[in-house]
Structure 1
Amino acid sequence: MKSYENYKTTDITWYPEIPKNWDYCKVKHVANTYAGGTPSTVVESYWEKGEIPWLPSGKLQNCEITTAEKFISEEGLINSSAKWIKPNTVLIALTGATCANIGYLTFQACANQSVVAIDENLSKANSRYLYYMFLNMRSQILTHQTGGAQAGVNDGDVKNLYLLKPSVQEQTQIATFLDYKTNLIDAIIEKKKQLITLLKEKRQAVINEAVTKGLKRNAKMKNSGVDWLGDIPEHWGVVKLKHIVVMKSGNFISAEIIEEEGTYPVYGGNGVRGFISEYNQDGYFPLIGRQGNLCGNINYAAGRFWATEHAVVVSSMKELNVFWLGELLRLMNLNQYSQASAQPGLSVEKILNLQIPFPSFDEQNSIGIKLTEILEKNDSLSNKIKDQIKNLQTYRQSLISEAVTGKIDVRDWVEPKK
């Protein structure tokens, strides 16, 4: 793309050089801004059978907002500081993890007090251009962030942000150009994400087949007598887990002594939590998450490490291939054996009484080796696709930045004919 013929310098840090025919101004000079509100959550009638879409700040994910999951009633709207927001409005998240996230609302809705709506003056600004402009202003927004764990910005900060202001006609052209280009990029990204999903499904299918049916496709089969398992190779056995492994939770450790760096990793119910200078395990083991919504998930730990009380260490009582065992446990969806409570917990006793297919140690090893080989290729391809997606996302943001800051001139751009 070509550049503009002439540029001028400014005293605004964020825009040191802009096209000569452009201007800059504060947000308050082209739009009104207002925050939303939340009806009282203790008044059931404000939420029950509500039909008015209501958005928390978490809905703002730097993309269009096309759906709502929460709704409030007319009564809730009237008795709170929530306000209607018109379709095609830019939204900015003010606080917390989503602070400075941007959304483009495509339907009429309300939002909570951590969301600011940008109600543009149509004679001065194009809402779609503002959407792309604000996506490029996220770093500027974050410079105003103050506070602790829920640090954020306020409506006053947003009003005084600086943005670039070409003519409305040129804003519209820039927005049209970016809509076309980003839609193309997004379509490519979506196809690549679908390919990653297919690779994950293929990965799991290969694992499932290998750990329950073996590697020989023409092997004679028999009924295992286990509902979830079905047929298994004729020469395989069926055993209860308690006859081949010991399952024991790790030991409590205070979160205060866990460091970001250290000698030995600390494994909780969902993988590594940090590091400490002591260990309570030494070897290669599958670990089962014991508590929480992710209880039953499988991780592997090797060498010296500390297992907390939230991780169940699976130790073998006889020769077993750890990878074969771990993937078999993953296939068994152990989360279904959790005991219902506010904090779900795994019933180890139930799991130990489950029956599993049991090939010889040599065959377990053959399965483990073959799976490692296949999965390395699968994961390598998946990682390459993820890198491609990152590059496309970087290019997308770069294109937006160049267009809204005048690094490229799109005034003569025409959408290609289909």
Structure 2
Amino acid sequence: MTINSLNFDAQALREKILDLAMRGKLVKQDPNDEPASVLLEKIKAEKDQLVKEKKIKKTKPLAPITDEEKPFDIPDSWEWVRFGNIVNFYLGKTPKRATHTYWKNGEYPWVAISDMKDDRISETKEKITQKALEETFKNQLVPKGTLLMSFKLTIGKTVILDKPAVHNEAIISIYPVLNIDNVTRNYLFYLLPIISNMGYATPAIKGKTLNKTLLNDLMIPLPPLEEQSRIADKIAQLFALLRKVESLTK
């Protein structure tokens, strides 16, 4: 067997791990876990409170998920949900290139898809200035620890910010409504790459893309919070093992 075939097998194993994870077959269900239906009630209550406090805007209700839409069966303790019902997400921007004072001697990381090479990101090829931050981003940085995902051309690439930054319009920053101990962030970090490529993408000039409506409508198989944590931990463990095996083939 060649090194190339070993690398191919490693990628195939990653995809298989993720497939098992989103079907509820990677870790055991625990009957003591609070079911996802209760978690959804808490998420709705939290979202209503954020709207009441004017921290987020009220949005139109998303369409219920019909049985015909569900692509596969999930455990009884899980729920199918729309992405837009469990997270708030925001598109980025690109400061005007012609305005040199936005880019020259920049100090704040500006994330492009080409920067999203590893699981976590702290350095970027380009940086923007304080002036660009104020005039293009209303002086708001995306906080450290935030989950980012690409949704244009390259779909479903995820990274976690290791320092405050901003990003371009081909990337969204994702904020789970309930994100106790970053559990849902970590679950989505691993599962969004496969979920976002499950047939929602529409043709684009150079590849594929999603838009805000399609992002909101993405169907997420949502486990109980405790199981989300077990799944993310198991994936991290298995992916680390695969990386170790791959390093031995180089």
TM range (shorter): 0.5 to 0.7
The Cα shift of 1:14 comes to: 5.3
User: Distance between the aligned counterparts of 2:186 and 2:131, measured in 1?
Assistant: 32
What's the offset of the Cα at 1:25? 0.5
Higher radius of gyration, 1 or 2: 1
* In structure 2, distance between residues paired with 1:79 and 1:63: 30
**Is structure 2 residue 163 aligned with structure 1 residue 107?**
yes
The one-letter amino acid of 2:187's match is Y
User: Which residue in 2 is equivalent to 1:38?
Assistant: 94
1:177-256 paired onto structure 2 within 5 Å: 177-192=234-249, 195=250
Q: Report what 2:80 is aligned to.
A: 24
Question: Whole-Å Cα distance in 2 between the matches of residues 103 and 43 of structure 1?
Answer: 29
Q: CA deviation at 1:150?
A: 5.7
Report the CA distance shift for 1:5/1:73 in structure 2 as closer, same or farther (over 3 A).
closer
How do 1:327-338 and structure 2 match up within 5 A? none
Identify the residue that residue 209 of structure 2 maps to in structure 1: 152
In structure 2, distance between residues paired with 1:43 and 1:2: 52
Q: Distance in 2 between matches of 1:51 and 1:81?
A: 14
Aligned counterparts, 1:204-353, within 5 A: none
Give aligned-pair identity as a percent: 20
| Offset from partner CA, 1:143-197 (integer Å, 9 cap, x none) | 33233236421122111101021222221221122222212222322342xx3xx
Question: Is 1:132 aligned to residue 132 of structure 2?
Answer: no
Kindly provide the amino acid, as one letter, of the partner of residue 187 in structure 1. K
SS in 2 for 1:116: strand
Partner of 2:128: 72
Match of 1:165 in 2: 222
Consecutive unaligned residues of structure 2, counting only runs of 5 or more, are 1-25, 32-65
CA distance in 2, matches of 1:3, 1:126: 18
1:287-309: CA deviations, max 9, x gaps? xxxxxxxxxxxxxxxxxxxxxxx
Deviations 1:267-324 (CA, angstroms, capped at 9, x unpaired): xxxxxxxxxxxxxxxxxxxxxxxxxxxxxxxxxxxxxxxxxxxxxxxxxxxxxxxxxx
2:216, 2:101 → 1: CA distance? 34
Match of 2:95, SS state, is: coil
d(CA) in 1 for partners of 2:130, 2:30: 54
CA distance in structure 2 between the aligned counterparts of 1:158 and 1:2, rounded to whole angstroms: 27
In angstroms, what is the RMSD of aligned CA positions? Answer: 2.7
TM-score (norm 2): 0.65
3-state SS of the aligned residue for 2:136? coil
Partner of 2:103: 47
| Partner Cα separation in structure 2 for residue 31 and residue 5 of structure 1 | 25
Aligned residues: 188
Structure 1 or 2: more helix by fraction? 2
Q: Which has the higher strand share?
A: 1
Structure 1: unaligned runs, 5 residues or longer: 196-418
Secondary structure of 1:136's match?
helix
SS in 2 for 1:19: coil
User: Helix, strand or coil: the match of 1:91?
Assistant: strand
Which residue in 2 is equivalent to 1:288?
A: none
TM-score (norm 1): 0.41
Q: 1:145 to 1:104 in 2, by over 3 A?
A: farther
Greater RCO (CA < 8 Å, at least 6 residues apart): 2
